[in-house]
Structure 1
Amino acid sequence: MLRERTDLESVEMKFYSCSEGEMPYVNLWIRFAVICKVRVLTLHILEDDYLPLDDMPLVSLHLKTLDLYGLILQKSFLDFASCPALENLKMNDCKINGWKISSLSLKHLSITSCFCDPDSRLRISTPGLVSLKLDCFVGKTPFLENMPLLQTACVNLGKGCKDVCLNYNSGVFCGANKNGCGNCLSKNDGRSNSVLLGGMSSAKHLELISELGKFIFTRDLNCRPTFSKLKTLLLNEYWCEAPDLGPLACILQNSPVLEKLTLQLFSKGPDHKVEMKGRYSPMEGPSAISEHLNMVEVKCNVVDEKILKVLKLLSAFNIRFGFL
């Protein structure tokens, strides 16, 4: 650090152990890399204990890509207003102590296996985002502000999601009732009633996966978001668990230009035992769903009562199938 400073294209730091006394040095090296105009910065802590970063914002006119693993991220660090060139942010297995991630320049955001305070809902304010990956977040589902430029989003609400209906039964969430459980009726901590789907409503390609019993997607649908640009959609069995298959029907009815629908039901894949393909068949009178739907895939391990119920609903929307 006493040598003459040289501009750096990339810096990668990976630690398999890091003592408490060494943490100040790691924070110092990060700041020094930023001073050296680094464009790609990777910091991975590959041990059981998380490394706390300084609660100070990054200030860089050059940083374009930030890849973080095994860190404790503080409030000020998550405000990237002073990083106007930042386009790619990847966070894996990090503890988020802040309440908001914000960036006007960010285009690609990936948050995998991260967690935050279970009593608060993280806000994501990234209006220029083009692609989003939110996988296995532990805590309340993050609230997405409007993302008008979003092209692709993959969201998987796993077992760590705390938005669980305490009275869940066969796809019915008690939040619609006045006497619902505390979880379903709790405030969203956001500016609208929609936590996820409202922010992603401009996307062209969506993959929406959820463990059974989580209520966020179903409650978001009550706000009737319209996916006016959506071309491809992948859903799992969560969307087909309600007795009337309401969530599946609702999202189809609000996707007017949908071209491809994939239902991956009770089967993780990639080798599904049964695959069916169909398409929308024009009929007389106005259509309840997109007339552009030329590919419908249903993947499962066995055609049982639940699958037949889904096929019946799709048939009511004039979708015809064949077995492969």
Structure 2
Amino acid sequence: MDHLLVLRDRAADLDAAEIRFDRFSVADDEAYVNLWTRFAVMSRVRDLTLHIGASSYLDLDNLPLVSQHLRVMNLDGLSLQQKFLDLAGCPALEVLNIQHCDISVGRISSRSLKHLSLRSCRSNSNCWVHVSAPGLVSLVLLRFGGTTPFLENMALLETARLDLSDDFDVCFDYDSDENSVPFNKDDSGDSVLLGALSGAKHLELVSAFQNFVFRRDLRQCPTFSKLKTLLLNEDWSEAPDLDALACILKHSPVLEKLTLQLFTNKGPKQEMKMKGSYSSAERPAAISEHLKVVEVQCNVVNQGVFKVLKFLCAFNIRFSFE
């Protein structure tokens, strides 16, 4: 069984390979997983899945992947190193899903990648994890532990979903120059997150405002010139005077739909929705004149919800329960 993939006739292309372990032995299984991975790539695999369900990460060899055929790769429960995530040798790769992995690298790079998902990953690296994928169309970044990933130019991005957990912005080596972002005296500098997202058409920003780097990006907020739909959560209603909400609305000139999820753990589990729209033909200059629907989702109408409704009513938006 250990040599089944190795003995396979490599003259025939491999459509998909899936390697799964619920537990593994470092001494025995780690070498086999690395061997099978290389043989799958040598067999011109198009869809590769490596899933380790154990409580510890399995170390993949720090060797580059080189394949003209690999299009989809799913990685789960692995420790990934720099050379493996330099994907220049995989010019056909379009989909990369990474989940529950240790990403202690300085850069994830691919010019061909169109869809990238990073879920429940972490980085113990002493420097930023730069994401360089200029052809990216969709991005999912959920609950990444460690230093906030630095998103480089994503001019083709259409959809992004970010959930910035409380584990963001942990600095393991604060004396290192690699851990710094250029700042000017006026608090401006290179954008870590928002600059790369500014061309997206659809955005979900959850648990974002508590993140230091995100708040700093917001102070030099870019214009979201193509943004049509925007989803925000209750964190955006907790900021003083709703400054963050006002800022992102001001910089979204073609926004058509705004969804606010204002849920609280203290209320009932039952969900209610309110929908709002402009009450007159007169559109305020402070927010998008194209805004057609504002949807407020909550489980209780508390002070925070009232504050948001009052804020939005100042722009001639009126609400009704569904």
- Name the TM-score, length of structure 2 as normaliser: 0.88
State the match for 2:288 in structure 1. 290
1:188, CA displacement in angstroms? Answer: 3.2
Distance 1:66 1:3 in 2: 21
CA contact (8 A) 1:264 1:299 kept: yes
Distance 1:272 1:152 in 2: 29
| 1:125-204 correspondence runs (5 A) | 125-162=132-169, 187-188=180-181, 192-204=189-201
1:97, CA displacement in angstroms? Answer: 1.6
1:189, CA displacement in angstroms? Answer: 7.0
Distance 2:270 2:229 in 1: 20
Distance 1:11 1:293 in 2: 46
Count residues with an aligned counterpart. 304
Distance 1:312 1:239 in 2: 14
CA contact (8 A) 1:7 1:38 kept: yes
Q: Tell me if 1:100 matches 2:98.
A: no
State the match for 1:19 in structure 2. 25
Which amino acid is the alignment partner of residue 318 of structure 2?
R
CA contact (8 A) 2:106 2:125 kept: no
Which amino acid is the alignment partner of residue 181 of structure 2?
N
State the match for 2:233 in structure 1. 236
State the match for 2:277 in structure 1. 279
Change (3 A) 1:32 1:118: closer
Distance 2:73 2:321 in 1: 46
Distance 1:106 1:65 in 2: 10
State the match for 1:307 in structure 2. 305
Distance 1:3 1:207 in 2: 45
Distance 1:284 1:161 in 2: 42
Distance 2:321 2:193 in 1: 34
**Aligned partner of residue 278 in structure 1, secondary structure:** strand
Q: Which runs of 5+ in 1 are unaligned?
A: 165-181
- Name the TM-score, length of structure 1 as normaliser: 0.88
CA contact (8 A) 1:260 1:294 kept: yes
Change (3 A) 1:189 1:108: farther
Distance 2:182 2:48 in 1: 32
Q: Tell me if 1:61 matches 2:58.
A: no
CA displacement, residues 5-31 of structure 1 (integer Å, 9 cap, x when unaligned)? 121000000012221222122111111
Distance 2:262 2:252 in 1: 20
More deviation, 278-287/203-212: 278-287
Change (3 A) 1:76 1:67: same
CA displacement, residues 44-92 of structure 1 (integer Å, 9 cap, x when unaligned)? 1111121110101100000000000000000000100010000000001
Distance 2:151 2:43 in 1: 33
**Aligned partner of residue 19 in structure 2, secondary structure:** strand
RMSD: 2.4
1:304, CA displacement in angstroms? Answer: 1.9
Distance 1:72 1:66 in 2: 15
Q: Tell me if 1:250 matches 2:243.
A: no
CA contact (8 A) 2:105 2:125 kept: no
Q: Which runs of 5+ in 2 are unaligned?
A: 1-5
